[in-house]
């Protein structure tokens, strides 16, 4: 077949592209690691050359493979050295005999929350039980709980574990303790490594032949340096031609980030409707983040709020009274709310634990103390919660929170507000409401919208605050509350298909993103 490669095509090739094309003949399969060995390049240069050549149609993929590895986290290393919470609890009970759950947690050096979940696990397995004095007893002294995960932790000490090299049982076990980006409660971090192999396309083979015919080697000099002039190394070399017809640099006028503009537009809308804005710190206590919202301290209800703990300082100095005592009484016996509470001894030390705010509802609860009745309040708040990052989930995200207080507010009013958020602010044309569950609202509802590409996803939750939340704050009237993912609203409004695009470091993508309509 005759060569149909123009001089312009050859002149515009980068030396890295030239070297790659010349080294590999048609039919040869290669990837970035092999290029490092064959051409003596660093990984970044290999990836650049492959990207450029594929974009020009000179290469095509031969094979794509994703390998999964499990790397031990800092928490996993700590558990390997000291024992998992389950192992420590069994060890302490074997040495000291029956203890109450708080005593056992302190003696084993684990958080009360971890002690509660570990007890549940061991109780189901018949290893532990609770006696008549509410003490935890060791039923099976010979048990070796967490043996499987202990072996995996030890094996991962030297190098990450490859998924395909694990047995089916080990794969199932490690999946319970592994997460993609790691977390405060994960023993393993999931690492996905994608391997792509290439081969020359028909066009690439033609370009390779043209390079050989014209004697282009990729060693041509593109810039004469002072050192080359001093030592004369430029003599006898071939020089790359300059592209005098290359386009000039672009003029880039300044503009605001489209997402920042969108957030301001939401604020303007709510303020125009008579709402007052609230805000607060991202570092909060367990008290305001969960306890004030009637979420039991040692219950799986908190699993949906997998928080990030602050290392130093670990605890706030104090919790404001009388709210601490009121909330403690509500959790233990129900207080003056008409509830029976959760029936456990409220831990006043645990409630001072400092965390990164995991939900914007924390500010709704705090605002009840000084809220006017009737009143309307909102906030756009940054939250932090471990989540597996994908097109509709982030571990660092924004929520728009709000409350409406009044004698006559009801669920119909709340559904009207949710409709406004979904249709006017998110721009959704298909909306549905489904029953939901939140420990702090009753009734509870979720609002879902349909994205043209991603399909149906949850926009957020809402409901009417339970008396266990409002009465300790001195509020006796109904309170409507909602917490919506404003990132997801922007995803719909700005016509995007992935939440990560809102926070992209790709400045070109941000420059070209359409403005809000």
What is the rounded CA–CA span in Å between residue 271 and residue 191?
44
User: Is the preceding omega at residue 232 within 30 degrees of 0, hence cis?
Assistant: no
User: In 250-285, which positions are buried (b, 16+ CB within 10 angstroms) versus exposed (e)?
Assistant: eeeeeeeebbeebbeebbeebeeeebeebeeeeebb
- Contact by Cβ (8 Å): 294, 468: yes
What DSSP character marks residue 424? I
φ and ψ at 178, to 5 degrees? -125, 145
What is the rounded CA–CA span in Å between residue 229 and residue 79?
61
Q: Is 287 annotated as a binding residue?
A: no
What is the rounded CA–CA span in Å between residue 472 and residue 77?
42
Q: Is 361 annotated as a binding residue?
A: yes
Q: Is 465 annotated as a binding residue?
A: yes
Strand intervals (E) in 367-474: 375-384, 396-405, 431-435, 441-451, 455-465
Identify the helix (H) or strand (E) that includes residue 510.
helix 507-512
- Measured CA angle at 124 (ends 122, 128), to 5 deg: 45
- Dihedral, CA of residue 230, residue 236, residue 238 and residue 244, to nearest 10: 60
φ and ψ at 277, to 5 degrees? -90, 140
- Contact by Cβ (8 Å): 435, 445: yes
3 state SS of 125: coil
Using CA atoms, how far residue 167 sits from 125, 187, 505, in Å, is 23, 18, 39
Q: What is the DSSP string of 68-108?
A: EEEEE-HHHHHHHHH--HHHHHHHHHHHH--EEHHHHHHHH
Cα dihedral sign for 386, 392, 397, 403?
negative
Q: Is 203 annotated as a binding residue?
A: no
Binding-site residues sit at 361, 440, 442, 465
Binding-site residues for Mg(2+) sit at 442
Binding-site residues for L-phenylalanine sit at 361, 440, 465
């Amino acid at each position: 077949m005759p060569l149909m490669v123009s001089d312009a095509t050859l002149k515009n090739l980068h030396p890295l592209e030239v070297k790659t094309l010349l080294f590999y003949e048609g039919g040869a399969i290669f990837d970035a690691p092999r290029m490092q060995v064959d051409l003596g390049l660093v990984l970044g240069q290999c990836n650049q050359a492959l990207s450029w050549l594929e974009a020009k149609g000179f290469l095509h993929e031969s094979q794509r493979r994703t390998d999964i590895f499990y790397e031990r986290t800092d928490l996993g290393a700590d558990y390997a050295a000291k024992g998992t919470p389950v192992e420590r609890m069994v060890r302490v009970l074997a040495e000291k005999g029956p203890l109450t759950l708080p005593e056992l947690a302190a003696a084993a050096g684990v958080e009360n929350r971890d002690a509660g979940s570990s007890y549940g696990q061991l109780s189901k397995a018949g290893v532990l039980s609770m006696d008549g004095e509410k003490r935890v007893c060791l039923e099976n002294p010979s048990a070796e709980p967490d043996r499987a995960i202990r072996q995996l932790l030890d094996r991962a000490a030297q190098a990450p574990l490859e998924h395909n090299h694990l047995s089916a049982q080990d794969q199932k076990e490690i999946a319970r303790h592994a997460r993609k980006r790691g977390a405060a409660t994960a023993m393993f971090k999931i690492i996905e490594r994608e391997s792509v192999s290439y081969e020359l396309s028909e066009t690439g083979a033609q370009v390779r032949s043209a390079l050989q015919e014209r004697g282009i080697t990729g060693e041509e000099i593109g810039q004469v340096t002072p050192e080359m002039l001093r030592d004369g190394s430029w003599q006898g070399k071939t020089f790359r031609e300059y592209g005098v017809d290359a386009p000039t640099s672009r003029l880039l006028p300044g503009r605001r980030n489209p997402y920042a503009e969108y957030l301001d537009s939401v604020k303007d809308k709510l303020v125009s409707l008579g709402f007052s804005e609230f805000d607060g710190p991202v570092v909060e206590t367990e008290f305001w983040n969960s306890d004030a919202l009637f979420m039991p301290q040692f219950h799986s209800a908190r699993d949906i709020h997998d928080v990030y703990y602050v290392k130093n300082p670990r605890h706030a100095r104090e919790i404001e009274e009388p709210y601490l005592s009121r909330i403690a009484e509500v959790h233990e016996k129900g207080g003056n709310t008409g509830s029976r509470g959760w029936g456990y001894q409220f831990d006043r030390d645990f409630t001072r634990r400092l965390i990164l705010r995991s939900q914007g509802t924390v500010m709704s609860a705090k605002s009840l103390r000084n809220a006017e009745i009737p009143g309307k309040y909102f906030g756009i708040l940054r939250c932090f919660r471990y989540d597996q990052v994908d097109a509709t989930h982030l571990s660092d995200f924004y929520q728009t929170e709000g409350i409406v207080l009044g004698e006559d507010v009801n669920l119909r009013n709340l559904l009207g507000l949710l409709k406004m958020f979904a249709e006017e602010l998110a721009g959704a044309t298909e909306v549905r409401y489904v029953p939901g569950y939140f420990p702090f609202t009753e009734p509870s509802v979720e609002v879902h919208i349909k994205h043209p590409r991603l399909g149906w996803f949850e926009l957020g939750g809402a409901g009417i605050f339970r008396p266990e939340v409002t009465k300790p704050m001195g509020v006796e009237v109904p309170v409507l509350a909602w917490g919506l993912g404003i990132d997801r609203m922007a995803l719909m409004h700005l016509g995007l298909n992935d939440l990560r695009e809102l926070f992209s470091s790709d400045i070109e993508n941000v420059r070209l993103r359409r403005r809000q309509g």
